[in-house]
Amino acid sequence: MNRELIRQQLIGQRPMIIRTSDGKEFRVPHPEFVLVGRHNVVIEDAKGLLDIIDPMHVVSIRPGTRRKTAPVPA
């Protein structure tokens, strides 16, 4: 995928899964966790750690699911 296709897929406020050519999947809870630069795509995980990948290795971006949270006890 090229940078523009990746940017188009990030429009909206939905979770997604980004898959790379080596088979890794990156769960993205919101598009704000992804930065598309000139030469890299940076994905931040829930712990604040960053994965830096080459946009040419992104093979698919598909809708993810929101994780259900446990109900708050009354």
15-72 pLDDT tens trace: 999 999 999 999 999 999 999 999 999 999 888 999 999 999 999 999 887 665 556 5
How confident is the model at residue 1, as a pLDDT? 84
The residue-averaged pLDDT of 11-17 equals 90
For 14-17, the CB contacts below 8 A with 24+ separation are 14/63, 14/64, 15/63, 15/64, 15/65, 15/66, 16/61, 16/62, 16/63, 16/64, 17/61, 17/62, 17/63, 17/64
What is the fold, at CATH topology level, of the domain defined by 3-63?
SH3 type barrels. (2.30.30)
Alpha helix ranges (H) inside 10-70: none
Model confidence at 73, pLDDT cuts 50, 70, 90, reads low
Q: pTM, whole model, 2 decimals? A: 0.80
